Structure 1
Amino acid sequence: YNMAQNGTTFFSGNQTQIIEGSETSYFQNIVFDNITSTVPFHLASNINIGKNASFKNGIIDADTYNGKMIFDENAFHSNASNVSFADEKVENLGNFQFEFPIGDEIYFRPSINNKAVDDKNIYTTQYFFKNTGTLHPYTSKDPEVLSIDQKEYWNIVQNQGTEKIVISLTLDKNTTPELFFADSATSQLAIVRWDDTTSKWINEKGETTDLLTGADYTKIITTQVRGYGIFNIALAEKDNPAPPTDLIIYNAISPNGDGKNDSFHIKGIDKYPNNRVEIYNRWGVKVYDALSYNENDVMFRRYSDGHDTVKKSAGLPAGTYFYILRYNKNNESIQTTGYLYINNDK
């Protein structure tokens, strides 16, 4: 094994394949392509991917056989779907944005970790298509949490590091109850996390985006977490209208050069120079991050500074984005989140 080379290992054939070993096996590129059955791969050991894992055909079952898939800090994957994914614990090293190619039974249900700061971070994530109410009672919850998805959950473990990152969870009508897709004037989707200290589900909130037709999941919800552990989808009471503020956030831009709405304008932010603005796309990828945002030269104008995801000089596509604004006012730290819409029409 040599990272300077670019070898590829193919797991294909016409019978069930057992992947096992007494020690971790290291691969540069790996391809899973077996149509013998729905679950043709039995992973009974740890495998480490240094570059790319291509999920073409066949689900990898490591949950039953106590295996694990590990992605190095520069590794990624492609083609994961309901046809092929990892039914197991998946570990990721590093601080790059990463979609965990996980699922359970026959359903691909990824979670997404946004780019972080510490390149020594290690996270392990697994998705379960089952009820966890016996260990984590759904009736023990923050008062504003109205209902919790009782059919599925994610376990997101921070093995190394201290950052509280932005994560995204996915909703799929094949697994997520219909209740969580209904529009309501009084409730909204949220991410909840089981807190071992208080023994209850706490509201981590979140912003929801509908995905395009053809995706393997239907919606995605994004939030910055305050801890790690068992996560789930929930319905929570809609936030009360924000108290009057001297900031006005114009959450739609049309950067076509006509001098109108060409940038993300936060009216009044100049009064609070100790601030930070972060913008994420619908996949939870950070595309913009600025300190001392203002109404003049430090403004978001559709161009990304997410070096690991999008070329800085390339304008971002039209669509819905998620912003986080933090600023200090009268020695109080204030955080505001919401949607930002980009319209590239001329």
Structure 2
Amino acid sequence: MLIAKRSCADTCSRSARMFLGYRAMSRSLRDCYRLLNVQEGCNAEEVKEAYLKLVKLHHPDTGSGADPVKFMQVKEAYKAVVKHLAEKRAADSETEDDEEDQLKHMAPQHRQYLSFEGIGIGTPSQREKQYRKFRMNRATEQVLDYRKQKLQHEELENTMMVKDVQQSKKIKITQAVERLVEDLIQESMAKGEFDNLSGKGKPLQKFSQYPYIDPMTHNLNRILIENGYQPQWIVQQKEIKQTKEKLQNDMVAYRKKLGESLTLHSQKQWNLKCEQFRDEIKQLNKTVDHFNLIVPLLNRQMLHYNPDKELAIVLKKYEVCLEASKATSEVVVKSAEGSDTSIHAKNSLFSWLKLFLK
């Protein structure tokens, strides 16, 4: 029993001496973090959790895993790390306080740059003058915009009013004419002027072109057509055809401009124009794709235009125009020659008469 107590006392005294030697040893914070198995940027809760885990592992009372030296090292490292974290928090709080004080100190100096919407440079009085001028110009522009919008609105209202008046007059005239015609028809029927008609007593064929169409549908279509309404796909179909014809005519005119015989320079220009024409035909084919998506009938869908075929058509048109121009020039030359011969004949006849009279 005495021997066990003495050995325990020796162990404690040895560990105490080693602990004092360890405290005398200057260990860096990096070693302390490494000893606790934590990162340097961790918080206090992570440090405490790692410390408790190591204390339970190396405490002298744990039995077989006891290591008094390691236990004292962990304890000292924990104190150093906690002290370092406290100092760091204090430094951060002081830095935040300094920044707030600096902002509070700077705020009155820069408040003027916030009061004038950031307009102007120079001293506060100069910036105030510039800001007043800016506000005056802005107010003037706003007043002019308001007046412009008001005038546009009034012009639009007047235009709509004129159209409404014209439409109402047209409707009134149409109704008056229809009423007059109806009165004349009723008067003629009362007199018996329609009794000798061959189709008397038979139903009228109001729509001879479309005998099986519903009268309401026919009237609705007639009203839409008279008011200029056209479905989108019809309008787009016309635009596609007009665009194609315009491209062809432009190419023919450009070919006429280059002349009949092409030089190297004009041939290069014609090739560039042909490439541009092919690109425009490709863009036109995209419009054809959109048209095919909205057209309601399959037999109304259009095929893509082939750029090479369209160029061939352009060249044929150019040849036709060239032949027509040549024929016109020949006619002009022949007429000019005929006039010259007639003049020569007249001159010769006049000369013979002069000789005869002599």
Same fold (TM over 0.5): no
Q: TM-score, normalised by structure 2?
A: 0.15
Indicate the structure whose relative CO is greater, using CA pairs within 8 Å and at least 6 residues apart: 1
Structure with the largest fraction of helix: 2
Structure with the largest fraction of strand: 1
Query: Max radius of gyration: which structure?
Result: 2
Q: TM-score, normalised by structure 1?
A: 0.15
